[in-house]
Structure 1
Amino acid sequence: MRLDILNKVCEIIIENRDNLTELDRVIGDGDHGVNLSRGAEKVKEEIPKMEGLKPFEVLNKCAMLLMSNVGGASGALYATALMKGAAALKGKDEVLPEDVVNTWNDMILGIESRGKSTKGEKTMLDTLIPAYEAFKSEIESGKDLKVAFEVAEKSAKAGMESTKDMLATKGRATYLGERSIGHIDAGATSSYLIIKTIAESL
């Protein structure tokens, strides 16, 4: 498990705390960046203790840290994704590209189930699903992990940007109705930052 990439993801979330909070302030609770960066700080602190852990143990540990330190919907959704991902990797000492495909799919299913949501509802899924589909296609056609993540990053960015024109049907943003249109979703943005960081770090 690349703990250096995990560390970089944490740093990016912390760096973007104010930006994510501002995005969420416009159409949400205004706490996405604050909450998520708090979780990222806790994970970053614990990374030295994760040396030697199996991949599923790392994801489980991150899930527990988010669960206990991140408030709001984002903590529960990201923690659920990580727990589902950990379950998919149980028993694996080495993570192959096809394992990443299966793990990512299970993470998305976890978010859909926990958030009672799907693509097209102005959420993180609008970033994650197109990115996953692009990634899966690249891996199945024989591309390596780095190339597949680079293609996924482009789809993730397009997915994130597509939330700007969507009407929110989940969370606090639903109260705004038509006024939620014209703003990019904070969860879609944090998901994009994670995918972008992984793509750049491989």
Structure 2
Amino acid sequence: MDAMSSSDLGALFGAWRTTFAEQRDYLISLDGKVGDSDLGITMAKAFAAAADAVAAVTAIAPISKILITAGAAMAKAAPSTMGTLTATGFMRGGKALEGAGALGVREAALFWRAYGNGIAERGKAKVGDKTILDVIDPIARTLEGTAEAGGRLANALAAAAVAAEEALESTKSMLAQHGKAAAFQEKSVGHQDAGATVGVLMIQTMRDFAISRSDAVRSQADDQAAFGSETSGGSLS
């Protein structure tokens, strides 16, 4: 898969919905160590609302509108701090892709960079503050590098997921600077950041979706080639 279409995005939001429903309790537990224990609930509600909203417009909307629609739905369904930040990221990412006909490596890089910039501005945070930005930045940088090199989307997302996973591990040694966790800075050391975990789950799901789509397209092409070979070698009696 070299690019995602509008219909692919609809299916991707469905995959995100499933991921955050399945990871709800894990995120609640992770957030409860130094937070409010509501992150899992917030993300499950946000992505469920986004998936529903996107499903209603996917057939007729360009990629930019789909992402902005998702962000608006998230903001309404989950008006907590992380819900608002996630919504802002999607709306800013959507604006960055105005005019894009598909989401390839270059567009993915633009999306994730704008996503991170939106969160940084809205949350008054920066890389190193032990937030989701600590994984969003390496995701964006990896995709930007792959876009320059001319890599394929599935491979680019796989590399971005590895970069995000490594960055998530690094958050364990950081002091929290924002939210409730900031009131327990020393206690936050040793724990991976819950918000950064959300970013990793997002890119892992996006990677898995792109790989599965690529495999499906390859399988279909192989089947068509095999069928063509069979029919060309046959004869009419």
The question of a shared fold, defined as TM-score above 0.5 by the shorter chain, is answered with: yes
1:11 aligns with: 18
1:158 aligns with: 166
CA deviation profile, 1:15-68 (whole Å, cap 9, x unmatched): 100101111111111111111101122223334312321111111111111101
Name stretches of at least 5 consecutive residues in structure 2 with no aligned partner: 1-5, 211-237
Q: Is 2:39 aligned against 1:32?
A: yes
User: RMSD between aligned alpha carbons?
Assistant: 1.3
1:114 to 122, 128, 132: 122
The change in CA–CA distance for 1:161 and 1:82 in structure 2 (over 3 A counts) is same
State the one-letter code of the partner of 2:28: T
2:229 aligns with: none
Q: In the TM superposition, what is the alpha-carbon distance from 1:193 to its structure 2 partner?
A: 0.4
State the one-letter code of the partner of 1:56: S
1:51 aligns with: 58
2:140 aligns with: 132
Q: Is 2:177 aligned against 1:184?
A: no
Q: Which has the larger radius of gyration?
A: 2
1:92 to 94, 100, 104: 100
State the one-letter code of the partner of 1:7: G
CA contact (8 A) 1:7 1:47 kept: no
Which sits farther off after the overlay, 44-53 or 131-140?
Answer: 44-53
Which sits farther off after the overlay, 13-22 or 101-110?
Answer: 101-110
Which sits farther off after the overlay, 105-114 or 46-55?
Answer: 46-55
Residues of 2 paired with 1:58 and 1:150: CA distance?
23
Residues of 1 paired with 2:207 and 2:191: CA distance?
25
Residues of 1 paired with 2:132 and 2:84: CA distance?
13
Secondary structure at 1:159's aligned position in 2?
helix
1:42 aligns with: 49
TM normalised by structure 1 equals 0.95
Q: In the TM superposition, what is the alpha-carbon distance from 1:92 to its structure 2 partner?
A: 2.6
Percent identity of paired positions between Structure 1 and Structure 2: 29
Say which structure, 1 or 2, has more relative contact order (CA 8 Å, 6+ apart). 1
State the one-letter code of the partner of 1:134: T
Residues of 2 paired with 1:25 and 1:151: CA distance?
30
Secondary structure at 1:184's aligned position in 2?
coil
Residues of 1 paired with 2:198 and 2:103: CA distance?
24
TM normalised by structure 2 equals 0.81
Residue correspondences, number: 202
Moved over 4 A (4+): none
